[in-house]
Structure formats: C-alpha cells, structure tokens
Structure 1
Amino acid sequence: MTTSLTESVAALQITPLKSEFGAHIHNIDLKNADDATLATVVEAFRLHGAILLRNQSMEPDDLMRFISAFGEPELHTQKNYCLPGYPHIFKLSNMLDENGKPLGAHNDGVGWHTDYSYKKEPVMCTMLYAVTVPDEGGETLLADQVAAYEDLPEAKKAQLDPLKIHHSYVHFIENREFNSYQISDEIRDANPDVIHPMIRVHPADGRKALWISTGTVKHIIGMEDDQAMKLVDELVEYVTQPKYVYSHKWQQGDVLMWDNRCTLHTGSLYDDKKYNRMAHRLWVKGEAPISVGD
C-alpha cells in the first residue's frame, strides 16, 4: 500500500465492528464516490477483514462498480435467482412474485461456512446489500478466524497446520437442511470435490486463519470419518465462541463485506411469515488457498 493510500485510510472515519475486528466506515456515499475514495475503502477492507457502510442507495450498476474495485466479480453456482441482466448479483429473499414463485434463495447461507469452499479457487470476498430487512432476526454473523488461530496453544497449531480437508459440493447439497434440490449433471461436473488446507495463510500479509467450515466438509485426509467429524465439530464450536463473533443487525441500505480467507459466516433465521427480506449478494474471484509452509 502506498504512503498516500495509507494516509487516506487513516483519514477515514472508522469504528471497529468488534474489538480488534472489522471496520464500520462512516460518511461515505458509495454511489457517488470517486475512484480514489473506492480505492481507500478497498484498502480499509484488506486491513480489517470486514467492512460495513450504512445508509447506501445502490442500483445494480452501482453495486457492480463497487464490487469491481475489489477484483473480478465471480459468478454463482445457481443461476435461477440472479438479477435479470446482472448474472453477478444473486438475490436472497423469502418473497414471492405475482405467480407465487420465489424471488430469491431463502435461508441460503444458514450454517457456519466460507463461500465457495467447494471450489479450487474459493471467492475472495462476499458483499451483501440490504434492500428489505426483517424487523427482528435474520442477523449475519462473522467469526474472526485469525484471532481464533492465534489463541490456540502452540501444540494444537502444530497438530492442525498440516491437515487437509476434503470439500464437496455434492455432499453439501445432499445433506443441507434448507433448500434441498436435485443436482444437474452439468452442475455436478462443474463442481468436482477439492482438497484445501485447514489452516489458510493470507496472501496479503501471511497471517494464518483456522479455515474450518461446515456443510461442504466431507472428510479430513488421513483420519477416520468419525474422528474427523468430531474434530470439525470441536473446532467449529471453538471458532464460533462469542469472543470471536460479530453479529450484524441489518438496516435497509447496509453494505457488509467480509474476507472469506480469514472469516467464517452464517445467516440466522427470522419469522419469514411475518417479515420480508431481500438482499443482493456479490462475490469477488479468489485464489487457491495457501497452506502453512507453502
């Protein structure tokens, strides 16, 4: 980061989302921000792992301009809930159209995970833009995996550093609690199983994160299945302790982004018979995860 950009980030009005994690960036209108301002927001994101900007009014083209400042936008595995004309914008909603058909994916993202963990190159970051929010419930929770890793005893780090996790999209779909559906041969062929490190090294500065997940995790290489899943459950319980978790209560116009290389996240349920929700999700392409020692 250049000196001028460092100074620009320092000049931002920022309050932390939670102790030493995340940044709530105040008084920036993303729709009308110039390129230099967007570059400063990108750098703030890279420093803090997650950012929040409230009171935004974003049209689809504004969302695409903003997400493109972070890198190349990523497409979605499921295409049927993308915004017409905008294949990079995915709708999350319980709302129905005039014919009673869903407008978006409902309860998508419930369960601790990192996006696209079943891909060879998982997405770098996720952005959600709140269009309609429930009055209660429906929070998004972010877990700081760098802090969780740093707090481990050295012996535990040595045990976990070399472990590799078998991730599977097919396993995820066949065992998910919400929105089960048949997988087409095309989607199955486009999403073969992958192996990723349990401890992921951030390419920007080398910090290590405990990159555990749920849903897509099928196996840990070199371990019996019951032993592997017991370890996964223990680690997920550990990394999602309240001291590592930021719970975001949504307001209309919120833009929340997080770095999938060093966080886990989950949605939470709400009364979907009483309240409506609509959010737009966008992703940025990432790289193959880096293992400890690579």
Structure 2
Amino acid sequence: MTNDPPVELNSFPRRSVKEDDMFDSTKMNLLAGQKADPDKRSLLEAVTKRIDLSPIIGTELHGLQLSQLSEQQKEDLALFVSERGVVFFRDQDITLEQQQELGRSWGPLHVHPIGRKSDPKEDAQLFHTTKASKIHAGEGWHTDISFEKVPSSCAILKVVEVPPCGGDTIWASTYAAYDKLSPALREVIESLTALHNADQFLSAREDPTGQTFLRRDTVAFSIEHPVVRTHPITGWKILYVNKAFTKHIKGFTKAESGKHLRSICEHMLLNFLTDHIATSDDVKVRFRWEKNSVAIWDNRATQHLALWDYYPHNRQAQRVLVLGERPYRDPESKSQLEAGGALYQAPPLWLRDVDGAGSGYRWSL
C-alpha cells in the first residue's frame, strides 16, 4: 500500500457537435503534404537507416526523433506516409503533448464521439488493455472514424507498454486492394457509394459505470462515401470500405437487380470487397511493437487490425487522429500501379483473370 493520492480521471463535458462544424481541409487549402519536396530530401537524408517492409506498404525509419522535426520534415513526412501507407519509428521520446502538436501541424485533431474518463485529453485517446479488459481497441479490420462526414487523414500511435510477446498490428493497403480487382469490377464500383455507420457507439450512453459517455448525442453516426475515393495528395485511387463501419453499398437500380435482389447484390458485393482486403496477404505489413515505438498511418490508404493475443498481459498506447477532407472521387485519378507508385510492378498473379488472359485479380485458382 502507498499513501499516493488517488488519480483524478479527466471528465470532459457532454456536448453536441454539428456536422457543419467538422473540419474539411479541402475547403481550407491545408492538406498536409502539399508543400512537401517530392523527393522528401529533408526527411530521408536525415535518417540513418530506411527499411521498406514490403514493396507496397510500410517503411521503418531510424535516426529521427519525431519530437524534433523541422516544419519541412513534417511536410515531407506527411507525403511519405501518404505514399507508403504506414511509417514506423522506434525508441521515440515524443510526449503526448508533442504527439498532439505534430498532429495539429497536419490538421485539427478529432474528438471522438465516445468520451472516456480515462482519456488524458479530449482530443487524444489512451488504450489500455489488461487482464480485466472485456474488449480491446482495434478489433476487426477497420479504417478509423470512416463514419464521420470528414474522416481522419492520418493517425499517430505510440505504444508505451508492451507484452512480452504478441500484440502486433497489421495494416493493409487499400491502394493495392483496388489494384488487385479486375478491370470489370473496378468499372462497376467506380460510381457506387457506401453507407458508413457507427450506431454501435450509442451503447455508450447506457454505461452503468459512467466511465464512457456520448459527446454527440444528437448527431447520427451515418454518412455516405464513395466506394472508390481519390487520395488528395498522391492522386491514387483507394478502395474505401471496411468491415467495422461500412454497412451496405448503394447505387444499384431496381431495374438492374430487381426489387428483392438489389439488397442481396449490394450485400454480397460489400462482403466480397471487405473480404478481399482482409484476405489479401500480399497487400499487408505486420509490425512488432517495442516500448516507445510509434506508427503513423494514412487512414485513407490503409486499414488495420490490432491483435489481442497477449492475454493476460498488458498493452498500453496513446493515439491522436488528424482530420482530413470529405471523401471524393476524381474520375481522372489513377491507381497506385498505374501511377508507378509501388516499389515493384504487379506480380503475375495480379495480371491474370479467371480464364488466364487479360489483366486484373485472378478470381480462382
């Protein structure tokens, strides 16, 4: 037993935030990475080691402290994250306040609709998984807050406590997931939209312990976004659906699919697309955390999954989310492979369809 005073948990007021108050960087000309050097020299010439973890997604940079980046390095890093999907750093001394400062250099920080008294700041979240936890953050393949009218552009996560082993996080490239689709299917989904919804958060208002609460009681957590969106910095096409928040695809007419078949077609297509991302191992990267490791990922160009394979051990991390732009599709945009954005060309498997000719993802073996 100690005589330390009890920890006073933060308690933020419940509040209603109108959709019109959400930040949209495309209207304010504040897109992170717009002022970057295309070669990212201020960033990459300062590192002591660069490790590309896969040709498509994921790079580990050594020799930099995120707490000491120059303004140009921050811009170059924003572009690099947009291109590589997720970038990793180890042995970082960055504090939560500096983590927030870095995030704010790229845009306003997101205030999550679920408030928790354990959160250190209103616009930062603490994830602490212990033996007593019933759930853990990051379950299932997802893109952070895709249910918002203006979703996140990127996330900054620092892990401050790690289990002896386990607790890895896996990211998937939604650039590459789009590239793996057949040309015929790409054409079908280009004009479709999908409903993103987070009604599961409404249960927070019924928390009998009072540890969680809703900050936005009057805002519906539903919004339509294009199934294929364009990245505002790279200009590459993104497959923008995820298992956690995308509820159904819209866009088929009754004449195309029939009165009753329409919902079946939309449901089957959504399941195929989300499973396509979840099961495409060649578009993924897996990261083994160490204490004080940091990951910065693009929430437009990736999805991720946090593994909970370390029970009964603890894992603790702190995260900030940066708000981006309202998703849109530019019909003139190209895919990552079309633009030459991957380190290598597409493997032959991607260039064969079901009958062995043409291009696109091979549907069966």
1:6 maps to which residue?
40
Counterpart secondary structure, 2:115: coil
Question: In the alignment, which of 89, 92, 115 is matched to residue 127 of structure 2?
Answer: 92
* Aligned-partner Cα distance in 2 for 1:257–1:249: 14
Deviation readout 1:239-294 (Å, 9 max, x if unpaired): 23110111111111111011111111111112332x11110011001111012438
Question: In the alignment, which of 149, 154, 157 is matched to residue 128 of structure 1?
Answer: 157
| Structure 1 unaligned residues grouped into runs of 5+ | 175-179
* Residues 9 and 20 (structure 1), Cα distance of their counterparts in 2 relative to 1, 3 Å cut: farther
* Residues 27 and 10 (structure 1), Cα distance of their counterparts in 2 relative to 1, 3 Å cut: closer
Once the two structures are superposed, the pairs formed by residues 175-186 of structure 1 within 5 Å of their partners are: 181-182=204-205
Return the letter of the residue paired with 2:159: A
Greater displacement, 145-154 / 35-44: 35-44
Question: In the alignment, which of 194, 209, 225 is matched to residue 165 of structure 1?
Answer: 194
* Aligned-partner Cα distance in 1 for 2:296–2:126: 16
Q: What displacement does 1:93 show?
A: 1.0
* Aligned-partner Cα distance in 2 for 1:155–1:6: 36
Greater displacement, 189-198 / 12-21: 12-21
- 8 A contact 1:24–1:53 mirrored in 2: yes
- 8 A contact 1:119–1:191 mirrored in 2: no
1:145 aligns with 2:174: yes
Q: What displacement does 1:2 show?
A: 5.5
Counterpart secondary structure, 1:73: coil
* Residues 2 and 164 (structure 1), Cα distance of their counterparts in 2 relative to 1, 3 Å cut: closer
Counterpart secondary structure, 1:290: coil
Counterpart secondary structure, 1:194: strand
Return the letter of the residue paired with 1:127: I
1:204 maps to which residue?
233
Return the letter of the residue paired with 2:129: N
Question: In the alignment, which of 235, 255, 265 is matched to residue 273 of structure 2?
Answer: 235
1:255 aligns with 2:294: yes
Return the letter of the residue paired with 1:166: L
* Residues 17 and 190 (structure 1), Cα distance of their counterparts in 2 relative to 1, 3 Å cut: farther
Q: What displacement does 1:5 show?
A: 6.6
* Residues 71 and 110 (structure 1), Cα distance of their counterparts in 2 relative to 1, 3 Å cut: same
* Aligned-partner Cα distance in 2 for 1:153–1:90: 39
Deviation readout 1:198-219 (Å, 9 max, x if unpaired): 1111111320011111122222
Greater displacement, 219-228 / 153-162: 219-228
Question: In the alignment, which of 329, 352, 360 is matched to residue 291 of structure 1?
Answer: 329
Counterpart secondary structure, 2:124: strand
Larger radius of gyration: 2
2:53 maps to which residue?
17
TM-score using structure 2 length: 0.70
* Residues 3 and 256 (structure 1), Cα distance of their counterparts in 2 relative to 1, 3 Å cut: closer
| Structure 2 unaligned residues grouped into runs of 5+ | 1-34, 207-212, 253-261, 333-365
Counterpart secondary structure, 2:218: helix
Return the letter of the residue paired with 1:6: K
Question: In the alignment, which of 145, 149, 153 is matched to residue 116 of structure 1?
Answer: 145
1:177 maps to which residue?
none
* Aligned-partner Cα distance in 2 for 1:3–1:169: 37
1:277 maps to which residue?
315
- 8 A contact 2:114–2:215 mirrored in 1: no
Aligned residue-pair number: 280
Q: What displacement does 1:106 show?
A: 4.5
Counterpart secondary structure, 1:258: strand
Task: Name the Cα RMSD after superposition.
Answer: 2.6
* Aligned-partner Cα distance in 1 for 2:270–2:54: 25
* Aligned-partner Cα distance in 2 for 1:218–1:123: 19
* Aligned-partner Cα distance in 1 for 2:126–2:214: 24
- 8 A contact 2:172–2:284 mirrored in 1: yes
* Residues 268 and 2 (structure 1), Cα distance of their counterparts in 2 relative to 1, 3 Å cut: closer
1:226 aligns with 2:226: no
* Aligned-partner Cα distance in 2 for 1:290–1:23: 27
- 8 A contact 1:168–1:217 mirrored in 2: yes
Q: What displacement does 1:220 show?
A: 1.4
* Residues 24 and 115 (structure 1), Cα distance of their counterparts in 2 relative to 1, 3 Å cut: same
TM-score using structure 1 length: 0.85
